[in-house]
Homo-oligomer: A and B are copies of this chain.
């Protein structure tokens, strides 16, 4: 197996950030926002205009990025990927400067084996020098020099320009060739 350099996004890839956002929405508005309603659209386009500001503000709540459930299979797959490939975490933290310490704490808790020197907090991901970038946001692939791999999320359902993985089992199959 050729050793590749794989960069992996955090939110909506390792961390189920959307689950947390939907839970906050439920508490705040006493109403369900269904994943199905987010099919192919940004969360802000799926809700009424008067709720947008409150939903955006979720991301600025201190602690928001610290307490997010880990995606099923993410930790085990990343641990195994590290044995055969060079793996980096590449997360766009600069939009939420309070998130640095929270994201670092999240990684320490959920991926305690992950090497610190392979963590990257950035903004523009075209700065990442890697063979692959696994991300839910196709905008990061536009200037990325390697191959973007789209990780399934409701908002990117209509994107068809990039190879896609549906979950962490598919990441494992693609890069380790085993279920």
Interface residues of A (CB under 8 A from B): 7, 88, 90, 92-95, 97-98, 100-101, 104, 115-124, 126-130, 145
Indicate if the CB atoms of A117 and B121 lie closer than 8 Å: no
**Subset of 5 A-B contacts with CB under 8 Å:** A97-B101, A116-B123, A118-B127, A120-B121, A121-B122
* A interface, over-half SS: mixed
Residues of B within 8 A of A123 (CB): 115-120
Indicate if the CB atoms of A124 and B129 lie closer than 8 Å: no
State the CA gap A98–B119 with chains docked (Å). 15
Residues of B within 8 A of A122 (CB): 117, 119-122
Among B7, B90, B94, the residue within 8 A (CB) of A117 is B94
Indicate if the CB atoms of B118 and A121 lie closer than 8 Å: no
- Which residue on B lies nearest to A92, using beta carbons? B117
State the CA gap A31–B121 with chains docked (Å). 38
State the CA gap A97–B90 with chains docked (Å). 16
Residues of B within 8 A of A92 (CB): 117
State the CA gap A94–B88 with chains docked (Å). 13
Residues of B within 8 A of A145 (CB): 129
